[in-house]
Structure 1
């Protein structure tokens, strides 16, 4: 083969490679556009739920396989219990604040101005805060017992 034929063959291969690169780039752009268009909010939520479920199923099984599984599973469950208890305590505190506000409004004679509103708000805030502290302490105690 002559040198000119080798140069022509290399040039032809370079042109073919460049054409393939352009085609692959166009395909990737099309794939990217299709991928973004297909991820609707519903599909994102479904993918999140499925992924969360699979990770939730896999983590306890992975912990059990490594050994010391009882302690890890109990700590996972106690963390779940503590977060659930804290959420429940927050909702109860909100209900207590609403109840305290209603009681303070009913028990106090009609006082014009914002002094009455401020007193009722302060009382309900104090009651809600105390209740939230009690529930948080109970959740910490439960978590500490389950770790031991």
Structure 2
């Protein structure tokens, strides 16, 4: 099978995927509309009465109030840790996506600068004389030290998850 045949197959599959996505989106919008239309005031009241009856019959409060205080603290700590880990994962996902976008923008900017330099026939070193004219107009800002490269290096110590004993030891040492 030739390259052009494969490209054509990919285009066909992408078109089919877009059509399925549009169908699913339309079906979801229809379901959401029907769901909202189905919640009439009578159904809401009946659902509340039925839910209240089930909760009263099951009496979950009586079962929960018998727990000791230490158990409540353990439950609260577990829930807090779980939400913190979800937030950390979400932040890491956003950071990874932002880094990918920044890399793509940097590559595009480099390519654009290279094409512009090639099109005008100006090398990178020839563009340097334009800077003194700009400095004569604008005041000179004090030089700041450059950030170290240590923050850009990959920390290989975190490539794999630690064993439970190592994780507990590291957390207790902090």
Same fold, judged at TM 0.5 (above) = no
Higher Cα Rg, which structure? 1
More relative contact order, 1 or 2 (CA 8 Å, 6+ apart): 1
Task: Tell me the TM-score normalised to structure 1 length.
Answer: 0.41
More helix by share: 1
Task: Tell me the TM-score normalised to structure 2 length.
Answer: 0.35
